[in-house]
Copies of this chain bind each other. A is one copy, B any other.
Amino acid sequence: MEHELLRKLRSAMAAAGHDALVAFSQDNVTYTAGFLVPSHASNRFRRTITVLAGDTFAAQIVVNVEENLARQRSRFSDIRAYNQFTQDPADVLADTLTDAGVGSGQIAIELDYMPAQDYIRLRERLPQAKFVPCRELYFNSRMVKTDEEIAVLEKVGRLTDLVVGEVLRQVRPGMTEKSVAQIIGNMMLEGGCDGLKCQVGSGVRSGITNCTPTDKAIEKGDVVRVEILGDMKQYRSNVTRTAVVGEPTDEQREIWSVMIGAREACKAMLKPGTAVADLYRCYVAYLRERGIEPTLKFLGHGIGQTIHEEPYITDTRTVVLEPNITCTMEPLYMIPGRMGFHVEDMYRITPTGFDAITGMITPNDELIRIG
């Protein structure tokens, strides 16, 4: 029988009246094929495309240097390789859709990602076909995770929760942000990650939303913000902690208690049936009532094959929570030029509420003390 995720995609396709579903982006292709073609991440001139059509047709288009690997690792057995220098992958796609018998059908395709040039060529080749977006279809399928996906998210999430605590215990004044990042890198890789990113911001740099680690030394009195984004088998973790070197000031304590209070108020709403827009409104109202204007226009985001995916927790989204949605919540408040506060954890919605994927090993209900 076909893999669970392919059956899920076919049933969404059929429900929407599509004859075919075509993915171009790294995340949607990897989700569909079950493995990442290395060139897909490293070389934007090499297309990797998946095609599902009707009840049974499934093919993957890859650049010829990746053909052997795709034959070994893809969920698809029909692998169509093309020569990067002499063939147009859009022609291979047109031929594939014709072979599948859907050359004049309704084709759901990543219009928000596929290059304009491929779209222009495909319309020339298949003038009878109707091309419609598949963004929402993939968003909605990916949002609700299978047990297999949840197992990986839990593994990488818990490792990240452990590592962020271990590293903050090792930080001493005088260490640079880069050296902290290096410890994080080693521990995440030793723990079984395939890769990671991290942000370390200290002192005024904690007030920069995306703070790439620098040679700045961590000093007494600094707020230190550490965000870790792990990769494991194409699934991601995202955990952030805020610490202070020495004793926090009254101002820092007060701001932090508002951040944590907002998070707890939102946790109480984290269950099936809650609209993400209401969750966001609860967050914003909690902060504003206490004199804090939220820095970001969202409270959190779905997490899976990409760090950010649906549901974004914001009032511009209409998603209602349901079981096995995985997401983060990340109360964040930056005071540019002074300091920043940020706590982020991963959650899974259960039939009756939620499971915290992270936050049990390294809680941050109070500002973590360093030194």
Contact = CB atoms under 8 A, between A and B. Distances in A.
Given A44-B25, A116-B119, A182 B178 contact: no
A3 to B, nearest CB: 23
A106 B113 CA distance: 24
A308 interface: yes
Contact of A116 (B42, B116, B185, B194): B116
Contact of A85 (B116, B118, B297): B297
A292 interface: no
Contacts of A210: 38-39, 69
B115 A112 contact: yes
A208 B314 CA distance: 45
B186 A83 contact: no
- Range class of the A interface residue count: 35 or more
Q: Name the residue among A27, A182, A185, A210 with the largest chain B CB count within 10 angstroms.
A: A210
Identify the interface centre among A26, A112, A208: most chain B CB within 10 Å of its CB: A112
A114 B116 contact: yes
Contact of A209 (B27, B65, B133, B306): B65
A312 B85 contact: yes
Number of copies: 2
Contacts of A85: 297-298, 312, 314, 316-317
A292 to B, nearest CB: 18
Contacts of A45: 112, 308
Contacts of A119: 116, 119-120
A114 B111 CA distance: 10
A307 interface: yes
Contact of A182 (B118, B189, B316, B317): B189
Nearest to A211: B38
A114 B212 CA distance: 27
Contact of A112 (B26, B42, B65, B117): B117
A178 B194 CA distance: 10
A68 interface: yes
A16 interface: no
A56 interface: no
A178 B189 contact: yes
A316 B85 CA distance: 7
B186 A186 contact: yes
A291 to B, nearest CB: 22
Contacts of A113: 44, 115
A114 B115 CA distance: 5
A209 B312 CA distance: 38
B115 A316 contact: no
Nearest to A42: B307
Nearest to A208: B69
Interface of A: 25-27, 38-39, 42-45, 65, 68-69, 83, 85-86, 111-120, 133, 178, 181-182, 185-186, 189-190, 194, 197, 208-210, 212, 296-298, 306-308, 312, 314, 316-317, 336
25 contacts: A26-B44, A38-B210, A42-B197, A42-B307, A42-B308, A43-B306, A43-B307, A43-B308, A44-B113, A68-B336, A69-B208, A85-B297, A85-B312, A111-B116, A111-B120, A112-B115, A112-B116, A114-B115, A115-B115, A116-B118, A117-B133, A182-B186, A182-B190, A185-B186, A186-B186
